[in-house]
Amino acid sequence: MKTDNFILNQDNDRTPWRLLTPKGSARDWCVIWLQGFTSTIEGHAEGLKRMAEQTNTPFAMLNYAGHGNHPTELDDATRAQQLREVIGVYDELHKLGFSKFIAIGGSFGAYMAALLSAERPLESLTLRVPAIYEDSEFDIPFKDTRSGRTKERSDVWRETVSSKMVNKALHAVGSFTGDTYVIEHELDSVINPAVPKAYFEVAKHPNYIVIRGCDHSPKLMPDPEKFFAIIEQWIATIVISTKLKN
């Protein structure tokens, strides 16, 4: 396994990102792995290695603004900035010769993956325990209180989410023409089940997967390794299936 660490420099925004390349894999396909809120490259390193090896496919991941060793503090970051970083890493991968991309996001990362699908070509899109946010918050720093943003407000708002509402992420998924995989965790205590169902309902070519007995993160479970293994197996299946179909 070859590990390359890079810095994406966009308008003085220095974003760390990593590319894991299995020995002998072709430089055409790449999975862009978009992690949940406050998760880091380092925290996902071992899982990415396993999935890259199992699928013989390179995996790329970044530390968004406010995450890991990114120099920007989370309070000063915006979702708009974080999406620019995701798009920037995609473009760097394209420069390296990759031409077919699979975006896989978890929680906050699923929201980023949904938005990426409207900005760059993807072969398939996977949204695991996907988050969603009000469009009014998109350009506002996390420390800014103008939007009235609180966890409690977000939880209440997500209960009202439906496929009929106007929202950038839902619109992006609804416009995506490739296969979309929505993964719900049966016992999710963070994301209201209305959210993954809304993404599923707007998708043109949807697939719905439920991981029974799992909370939002396996880390919240008594036996996390069991659920990490289940998730990784589903991801490997999706990656291999996408490559075979395209």
Q: Edge-to-edge strand order for the sheet containing 29-34?
A: 2-10, 13-21, 59-62, 29-34, 100-106, 124-128, 179-185, 205-211
Residue ranges per domain, the chain?
2-245
pLDDT digits (tens, 9 = 90+) for 149-159: 677 788 888 99
**CB–CB of 20/106 below 8 Å?**
no
How many CB atoms lie under 10 A from the CB of residue 121? Answer: 13
Query: If you average pLDDT over residues 202-211, what whole number do you get?
Result: 98
pLDDT for the residue 146: 62
pLDDT for residue 240 is more than 70: yes
Short-list 178, 88, 42, 190, CA closest to 130: 190
pTM: 0.96
User: pLDDT class for 171, splitting at 50, 70, 90?
Assistant: very high
Residue whose entry in the numeric block shows the structure tokens 């949807």: 206
Residue that the structure tokens 């965790």 belong to: 185
Q: What does the pLDDT read at residue 225? A: 96
Task: Identify any residues that bridge with 127 across adjacent strands, giving them in sequence order.
Answer: 105, 182
Question: What pLDDT digit, counting tens, does each position of 32-46 carry?
Answer: 999 999 999 999 999
CATH class of 2-245: alpha beta
Average pLDDT, the chain: 95
pLDDT at site 147: 60
- Structural contact between residues 88 and 110, judged by C-beta atoms closer than 8 angstroms: no
How confident is the model over 61-75, as pLDDT tens digits? 999 999 999 999 999
**Look-up of token digits 């909370």:** 215
